[in-house]
Amino acid sequence: MRAARRPRRAEEEEESAFVSMTDLMVSFLFIIIILLAFFATQIAPKSRERFEIQASKLTELEKQVQALEAENQRLRRLVSAQDGNPIERYNFQSAELRGKMLDRIQKRIKAADTSIDVSISRNGDALEFKGDGLFGSGSDAPSVTGRRKMEIIAGILRDELRCFSLGERSTLTSACNPAVALIDALQVEGHTDSTGTDVLNMDLSSRRGTSIYAIMVTASPDLLGFRNLRNQPIVSVAGYGKGRPIRDNDSDLSRDANRRIDLRFIMFAPPEEQFVPQRIEDLPRLRQLLVAGPVP
């Protein structure tokens, strides 16, 4: 028995060591980004071409930092999941499947329309869309081009949500979802630039989220049929005002980028061990538990 545990112990030590290495790499690249940004402000580029090269290098380094941070978080979840805790193990597997799903959605969106600028959030739980003309300043109605893009995205979401939800439109199987990872909510999040008061921007961002929600469910009505484990609709709306910018609000282009929509995928997290799904056949029992409350 002791001998059988040695390989696993060695694997855990290797993973823990790699977590420390990625910590160091993230810190090192972050320092480089700060230094490059400093020198970029001290040395004025002689041409627009050189300035664009500097900006491109900074962007590439930022992507490397984000990738390392995502891998670091994944490894930390893996190490935690290996302690034998069923809840930690389920949450890790759920996050892994969500990451793969977001990667598929991102690739499908770019394949359908290369002009859609979409990225996966640093925490790996959301699709972030740069505004790029989606909304005019002070408006909650998307542009004609923006509406068409959201209709494309709605169709892709309809296809991908089927295996991570319940309800009449679900096609959940163990083949496409072996961990029985379920989406608890898909939030259509509205955002604004910094123009205007906090109250006005909070209201505007909520109206933007609602506007995009209406476009998406009209283009793909099946989205309304997806349910979570509590039998609640998955697709919902949230507004964050100007509080979560992706660019500095110091230019028209930056403010345009901040007038945007994000799609956040919130996964079901078991509150106690008895709520951890073991197989698809467990779901009716778990739904009853969630409605009635845990057994003491």
Confidence at residue 6, expressed as pLDDT on a 0 to 100 scale: 45
What's the gap between Cα 69 and its chain centre?
Answer: 14
The tokens for 282 are 């467990």
What's the pTM?
0.72
Confidence at residue 2, expressed as pLDDT on a 0 to 100 scale: 44
Confidence at residue 134, expressed as pLDDT on a 0 to 100 scale: 87
Q: Phi-psi bin for 222: left (phi > 0), alpha (psi -120 to 50), beta?
A: alpha
Domain spans, the chain: 1-83, 86-292
Confidence at residue 246, expressed as pLDDT on a 0 to 100 scale: 87
The tokens for 229 are 């484990």
Residue type, 268: F
Confidence at residue 77, expressed as pLDDT on a 0 to 100 scale: 54
Mean pLDDT by 10 residues, the chain (296 residues): 46 52 66 68 58 65 64 56 78 95 97 94 91 86 93 97 95 95 98 94 96 97 96 97 90 89 97 92 91 61
Confidence at residue 275, expressed as pLDDT on a 0 to 100 scale: 94
Confidence at residue 3, expressed as pLDDT on a 0 to 100 scale: 46
Confidence at residue 18, expressed as pLDDT on a 0 to 100 scale: 53
Burial class (CB in 10 A: 0-12, 13-18, 19+), 17: exposed
The fold of the 86-292 domain, in CATH, is 60s Ribosomal Protein L30; Chain: A; (3.30.1330)
Confidence at residue 247, expressed as pLDDT on a 0 to 100 scale: 87
